[in-house]
Structure 1
């Protein structure tokens, strides 16, 4: 009965753990771990794509306790990616600190999912740039995955992009 929700919850927890592991991987200070970090980021993105549709297949309409924390898992991956980039030496301490503090303050002040999305884009965009500069195969693999996801989810993508842009615009107008 709860099988779909359980699978979705396991994927969400896995994503959270991947975020923590990315941060730990960065703490090793080894730039040579970039391919592993990129692979883990891809795996986190896969779990993010799968957990929602699997959970929605359940005949039980309620969102599980873990499912309610899906965004927390996403943001843990975002923070883990940013921490990895900083601790591995791909971005400087000043940049890492300034962006992290600004992100935390903006998320705290606005409590907006749209700001969370912008923070994610900053972290993931920096990771993509880093991959293209240092491990191009992984940069192309990640971009290919993103293109595939956009293609498969195309009917929803323009709507989500529009919601994001309108959400940011309304925050700016406030």
Structure 2
């Protein structure tokens, strides 16, 4: 067996520490401590409001469609329009798992919570609950902040509660 000289031992030790830090970071991920959730400098969350999607048809066109639209067609069109309108400001949840771990938005931005799961999901952001059903959404206006604020949404689906499913940073 080869004996390592002092220089090789140091390099090996540094590599081992880097791998250990990487493994720990992977294990913790975005589910780190919740201490950042309520910043002491600004706890303004009363500006956060939820809007639910409407299922009414868009304003009628001058052309008459060949078939009347059903309620499910209208809902699908409304959902598709919302996906286009809130592109880049959408957080999709599938079985209470966010598609991405980190999101950053400007203060006062309205974002879309997108229900991609087979069942209803209740997403809690800054103490407020938003229920999204499959292929439906909720619109949330983020608080106006003077300092960067970090929120960690929780999610309940099928009786299973998940904490810190994403990290939302609100920039002033």
Is the shorter-chain TM-score for this pair beyond 0.5, marking a shared fold?
no
- Structure 1 length-normalised TM: 0.24
Q: Normalized against structure 2, the TM-score is what?
A: 0.24
Pair member with larger Rg:
2
